[in-house]
Structure 1
Amino acid sequence: MKFDHFQKLVDNFFTINEAGEVSPAKYGDIAPERLSPLVLAYVGDAYFTLYVRTRLLGYEQNKVRVLHTFDAKIVSAVMQSKAIKILEDQLTPDEADIVRRGRNAKSTVPKSASIAEYRYATGFEALMGYLYLQKRYDRLSEIVDKAFAIISREMTAVAKK
């Protein structure tokens, strides 16, 4: 990216108000229901990763490599897809619609997961992003707590084999 292009983006992203506070220049209000499912997944991925990393501190606080290894496994598309498939029956119609939109979004699939796993994981992340942007923190917490428990059980079962 060229510097002048970068500068233009910065100028469009932020403005300084009379109080000297930085505020978004283009969008003051975010309507999550109008955002692309991939944008919702972008936010949801960040939320779930932070949630998992914070939860893992309850188990390990000194070994970053161990934390990263578990974090990467838990937030993987494979594990997220397992969680959302189990949670699907517990979703409201609106939540199920967000997951469906995320599953149907076209994106590049990495080699670490099947196409179906990656699509389901995108649906899961889109739901997390949607609930976060809707400020429905109680429901978000309920779903990520359940997902973490499902993924933990799955990882324990795999480790025992």
Structure 2
Amino acid sequence: MNFEHFKFLIENTFKQGTDVEGALPAKYKDIPVERLHPLVLAYIGDAYFTLFIRTRLLSYEQNKVRILHTFDAKIVSAAMQAVGYKGIEEILSEEEIAVVRRGRNAKSNVPKSATISEYRYSTGFESLLGYLYLSEKFDRLAEIAEKAFVVISREMTNTDKKIKC
């Protein structure tokens, strides 16, 4: 991020004068979710899925934060998100698949920790979660996140068994 972007964010993020405390500034209120860039949707979807996974993990462990962080990082990795997406793809509507496709096709830099395919599918998956969150379709969002978590858990369990044999 260059200095001018940083300066713009500081000036606008902390600006007073929203209609309701905590509400978005008026210039962002009327943007339809469908028009947001897929990487913006993925940014929100990534945050949501990370929080969802961390909250789920608290059901099992509350004291060892370093272990929790290591484990949640594995679950929310591009490779595991791609597995989760492929496991739930058949339950998605045409509209949801279109959002995933937009996210998959968005231009972005692929990290070394994932293959191009894994990263594209994970970006599509995150875009879908971001889209559902910003569209306030919270029941569907929870359903998809939960089913993806189950698929990822199953895959991680099977991988661990393969390694130990």
TM-score (structure 2 length as normaliser): 0.89
- CA gap 1:18/1:120 in 2 versus in 1, 3 angstroms: closer
- CA gap 1:28/1:63 in 2 versus in 1, 3 angstroms: same
- 1:79 aligns to 2:58 (yes or no): no
Structure-2 separation of matches of 1:73 and 1:5: 31
Structure 2 partner of 1:134: 135
Structure-1 separation of matches of 2:5 and 2:150: 44
| Cα distance, 1:27 vs structure 2 | 1.2
* Higher mean C-alpha displacement, 28-37 vs 68-77: 28-37
Structure 2 partner of 1:32: 33
Structure-1 separation of matches of 2:73 and 2:58: 14
Amino acid at match of 1:24: L
| Cα distance, 1:8 vs structure 2 | 4.3
Structure-1 separation of matches of 2:19 and 2:104: 43
- 1:15 aligns to 2:22 (yes or no): no
- 1:52 aligns to 2:59 (yes or no): no
Structure-1 separation of matches of 2:7 and 2:110: 32
- 1:118 aligns to 2:112 (yes or no): no
- CA gap 1:22/1:117 in 2 versus in 1, 3 angstroms: closer
Amino acid at match of 2:95: D
Structure 2 partner of 1:93: 94
Runs of 4+ in 1 over 4 A off after TM superposition: 4-8
Whether contact under 8 Å (2:18, 2:24) holds in the other structure is no
Identity of matched residues, %: 62
Structure 2 partner of 1:69: 70
Give me the CA root mean square deviation: 1.9
Whether contact under 8 Å (2:85, 2:121) holds in the other structure is yes
Structure-1 separation of matches of 2:77 and 2:123: 11
What is the count of residue pairs matched by the alignment?
Answer: 159
Structure-2 separation of matches of 1:86 and 1:22: 37
The unaligned stretches of length 5 or more in structure 2 are: none
**Which digits, 9 at most, give the CA deviation of each residue in 1:65-103, with x for residues without a partner?**
110111000000000001111211110000000000111
Structure-2 separation of matches of 1:18 and 1:93: 36
